[in-house]
Amino acid sequence: MRKPIIAGNWKMNNTAQETKNLLNELIPLVKDAKCEVVVCVPYTDLYAASEILKGTNIGLGAQNVHWADKGAYTGEISADMLLELGVKYVIIGHSERRQYFGETDETVNKRVIQALKKGLIPIVCIGETESERENGLTDEVNRRQLTIGLKDISAEDIQKIVIAYEPVWAIGTGKTATDQDADETIGKIREILGKMFSKDIAQGLRIQYGGSMNAKNAQGLMSMPEIDGGLIGGASLKAQDFSIIVKAADNF
């Protein structure tokens, strides 16, 4: 059985003070969750979040990590910096990083390798754009992102990661993949992973859906057999909505 994981990706939202307010509201709402609950907050909010989340069932995540241990990389953040703040998870290869900040499958791979070396759990994002989908390239794009992004990862290490399938056209648009579409594509992603590693390993890997997942559609998405959780943007900024998504995951 794969334990569902619901992760909030706050993106570039919330100051440290706003973080305290939102987490104080969220903690009691999800304290009995059976699924894994994670919030991936901006770097400047990590300290405040780590203090508030101590002793709770909410795991702390960051939104990126650099591949070097340390050095002359102005503006970047290392794994050790994250670990010292109690960070356990890190989003890698989000489509916004790929789209606006030059992230490539190769840099995703370097970051994943570093995260695993340091003991962080990577949440690796993949997914096709609207035009790629229209041209029937969804599976090919996912295959490429997985093949290069997860290159040289050992069979042991791969079992620690979480994959997030986030079709780019569904992010922040209010357009969600249908339950069946998301399930089918995630099933294909699992097949690709099965060929890259082994069928057993692929069966054990958790694959989230992300893209306009919200309090209304979470139940349907979570009921699908291949979908093991969600990576939530907009709806993770509201404690009530996020807790409803967590409850939806708890039913499966």
What residues are annotated to the active site? 94, 166
Distance CA 229, CA 221 (A): 8
Distance CA 228, CA 92 (A): 18
Give yes or no for residue 59 binding ligand 13P (CB under 6 A). Answer: no
Q: Which is nearer to ligand 13P, 94 or 98 (CB)?
A: 94
Which pairing describes strands 58-62 and 5-9: parallel, antiparallel, or unpaired? Answer: unpaired
Q: Exposed, middle or buried: residue 132 (CB in 10 Å: 0-12, 13-18, 19+)? A: middle
Give yes or no for residue 4 binding ligand 13P (CB under 6 A). Answer: no
Give yes or no for residue 167 binding ligand 13P (CB under 6 A). Answer: no
Q: Which of 9, 78, 109, 208 binds ligand 13P (CB under 6 A)?
A: 9
Give yes or no for residue 109 binding ligand 13P (CB under 6 A). Answer: no
Total Cβ atoms within 10 A of residue 172: 12
Q: How far is the CB of 161 from ligand 13P (least distance, A)?
A: 16
Contact pattern from residue 175 through residue 214 relative to ligand 13P, giving x for each residue in contact according to CB under 6 A and a dash for the rest: -----------------------------------xxxx-
Q: What are phi and psi of 86, to 5 degrees?
A: 85, 15
| Residue of minimal Cβ distance to ligand 13P | 233
Q: Which of 234, 243, 247, 249 binds ligand 13P (CB under 6 A)?
A: 234
From residue 131, how far is each of 68, 136, 214 by CA, in Å? Answer: 34, 9, 24
Positions that interact with ligand 13P (CB under 6 A): 9, 94, 166, 171-172, 210-213, 231-235
